[in-house]
Structure 1
């Protein structure tokens, strides 16, 4: 079974949050940054800064966590980000170093 990741993106001013799930976090965040889907929510609101992610051995676990996060309030998401990334830095380079060598196939979500 494929591994999975749940992630949170925001814009440069940290005003809008997006929770997503993927089996290839490096590719998926790059797609957000390059605005592959121009009409998508993330492209419309310039959500391309990765501020939080979790890795799972199975994609099903990541999907469950995504649902849990999406059901939570904005304040819970902000608290989660603050506890792991208090400066709200873009974690994309970290993710590329940690997971960039793994090829889980090209996905389009």
Structure 2
């Protein structure tokens, strides 16, 4: 497991004890590390591709959902910044009374 991350401390012991097969172990270990890293990168690309495909199919729905929430958030806010919003807040509070007066 540690060899995937490049920790090869035990490889020096193998090379010193077995001179004939030490180079073969090193070559096999290098092949193993290259193949396992290629497979892990391919797995990562496949997972990203799958996630992208799932999100792309729901893209329009998600966009409409987020747009609705942004519009709803800005509809509640006053059009003026905080020092001046007292005037617009007063108008919003008096708007129902003005409607009642117009019907009379």
TM-score, with structure 2 as normaliser: 0.20
Q: Which has the higher helix share?
A: 2
Q: Which has the higher strand share?
A: 1
Q: Which has the higher contact order (CA 8 A, sep 6+)?
A: 1
TM-score, with structure 1 as normaliser: 0.19
